[in-house]
A and B are shown apart, each in its own frame.
Chain A
Amino acid sequence: MKILPSLRRSAALLLIPALALVGLAGCSTPSSPGSAAVADSVASGPWSYTDDTGKMVTLDQRPEKVASYADYALGLLSYGIDPVAIFGRTDVASDPRFASYDIENTAIVGNSYGEIDLEALTEAAPELIVTGIYPTDREGTLDLAGPLYAFADAEQQAQIEKIAPVVAIEIGGKGSDVIASMNRLAESLGASEQTVAAAKAKYDTAAADLTAAAQETDLEVTQLYADADGLYVAKPNDEPELELYESLGVDFTDRNPDGYYYWDIYSWENAGQVMSGDVLLVNVEGYQQSDLLMQATFASDPALQAGQIHSWNGAALDYASQAAHMTELAEILRSSKKL
């Protein structure tokens, strides 16, 4: 789950700053996003790929050395494609999501949003760089003039594009579409059909189990981030991961589907409005159980009182990550009771 841009966005909404975004001349030409990728499975031949922004990248041969933002690096790793460099929003070395992968020989070139070590990235000599893009609204509008996700600004993006061409995965809309986009890129980079099919089989099993757990338990789940300013409730129609789980039958708190994009924000005085959930999934960043219990206006929340509260981190949108995450969510549902 992305915390930063949304909070930045909410701050921007309140402050209405005149954010002049510098246009990136000639960086990408919007065409029909999602157009069929032209992937050449022959490694020696020319390689081309059209990403989710409609930008087509053509190389003399299929890139072997790929640098990636952490979330998509996880997807690539799950298909046996080892990135040469990874940049993350938080410390990559201690990111538990990488625990099951060997990234000993991978260069970690960034551990904080927009802080990418360009020299180290150049040294890793990637032939392709993978990152993401979040839509700016519910309609899926992509701000192609602004920097892609994970980059500090257009200037930094221009420098990174000099190192290697950049492709972006759109993180918006349906979760299954995001996974499909990840798969399309991975297959284009050489993941075999069998590998993808094996991952899909595990994913399908976990998805079916999550659906079963949701039906058995019939619980309302509230996914939130909290800090001194108030509660931010993630919206299942706007956050692709929640959308995925909801499409599988999990019921998420969504009091105001037509309101602001991505988050519903409640001041602590209004926290009482979102006490309907049976299970709380609180973002690993921000307030946890003990902090929430100290907020008088939320302390009486039934799920909080019942201890049905779990620290929750957004998982990457690929088959392997989601299979694990859905299994975890199914366990949480089965260990909780209706309140």
Chain B
Amino acid sequence: MPISPTALAPTALTGDPRRRSTHARRPLVLLALGIGVLATALVSLMLGSNLISATAVLAGLFDPAQDVASVVWGSRVPRTVLGLLVGVCLGVAGAMMQGQTRNPLADPGLFGVSAGASFAVVIGVYVLGTSSVLTTLWLALAGATVASVVVFSVAALGRGLSSPVPLAIAGAAVSSLLVALTSFLVLSDETTLAAYRIWVVGSLSGRSLAGVDAALLFAGVGMVFAAANIRSLNNLALGTELAHGLGENLLRARLVGLAGITLLTASAVAISGPIGFVGLTAPHIARRLVGGDHHWLLPASGLVGAVVLLVCDVIGRLIGGNAEVSVGVVLTVVGGIVFIAIVRRGKMATL
């Protein structure tokens, strides 16, 4: 029996009613997430391991002369700004990575970025004997970039880049090699181990805004690549062949995507050390809220990432007494539970 085109049209164009309501509320969800980020940032400015009053924080914020012991401008402000930046970068990079690989378990570190940064930082401590925040940042940026280029070259030499599989395998191989070399250095030298252990946990403590320009530049350029990759990500979600059929230039789609993921992750890793779970979980939460269209998913994932990271950092500041618990540790606990909950509910969007 022939189906008339008109009979098909309404559902084909608008989808089912539930999806339509998701579509309609997407701007509202983004707005709410934006407000959530601002609220979290405010909380992050107010709370810390040094329990100063809200009035003291505000006084210090607007008049640095009243900022007792530089707690506000020396600690709270940089942490909040950097936490937002790292969270957004990891959230966006995670969503891109899951879109590129069509794998819901893909993490932004999959292409060797974190392993490369770690190795460079360890080399820095071992050879240069420095663990200062700024040197570490530069080394991490350099290591992440070099590792990504190597991964991409290895993948390009092999079966090509149309499928994400060679990239993922090359990433895993290069990561394993770098992790082995890192372990070798770390095990052979106690001082290196001590510095590495502090860095690898992932923390926003002791960072300042001075000198992070390079990381900001990486993040900014990464965002441009991410925006340029949105259409391709939507096409790739249909499968490599269908995307190709839709006129997608696969090589360009992969290159732009890889560049975006690398720059965003490198920026985050350089600032805070390799923080897990944000890049993995934020896209899943965002997908629930705004659906799978990357026009909405990328910003939503970035905002969710920022909220998650800052909230976990604040928790870590409050549960350590005079000291603090690194955000990386809190995230491993909280993020792990959240991720299990997502998987258990079985509604993980298929990519």
Contacts and interface: CB of A to CB of B under 8 A. Distances in A.
Contact of B208 (A113, A287, A294): A294
B326 A229 contact: yes
Interface string B35-72: 00000000000001110000000000000000011110
Nearest to B199: A228
B50 A270 contact: yes
Interface in B184-217: 187-191, 193-195, 197-199, 203, 205-208, 210
Contacts of B50: 267, 269-270, 272
Contacts of B71: 269, 272, 297
Given A228-B206, A295-B206, A90 B190 contact: yes
A144 to B, nearest CB: 25
Contacts of B195: 227
A296 interface: yes
A273 B322 contact: yes
A297 B188 CA distance: 34
Contacts, number: 121
B72 to A, nearest CB: 10
Report the interface size class on chain A: 35 or more
Nearest to B73: A296
Given A112-B187, A296-B74, A265 B323 contact: yes
B75 A266 contact: no
B131 interface: yes
Contacts of B198: 227-229
A338 to B, nearest CB: 22
A266 B324 CA distance: 8
Contacts of A270: 49-50, 322-323
B206 A230 contact: yes
Given A229-B206, A300-B69, A269 B194 contact: no
Interface in B2-30: none
B133 interface: yes
Given A228-B205, A265-B323, A267-B323, A291 B132 contact: yes
26 contacts: A7-B197, A14-B323, A91-B189, A111-B188, A111-B189, A112-B188, A112-B189, A112-B193, A227-B194, A228-B198, A228-B199, A228-B207, A229-B324, A265-B320, A266-B323, A267-B324, A269-B48, A269-B71, A270-B49, A286-B131, A290-B132, A291-B132, A291-B133, A294-B210, A295-B206, A296-B73
Q: Give the top 3 A-B pairs by smallest Cβ distance, nearest first.
A: A296-B74, A272-B69, A265-B323
Interface of A: 3-4, 7, 10, 14-15, 89-91, 111-113, 115, 227-230, 264-273, 285-287, 290-291, 294-297, 299-300
Interface of B: 48-50, 68-71, 73-76, 131-134, 187-191, 193-195, 197-199, 203, 205-208, 210, 317, 320-326, 329
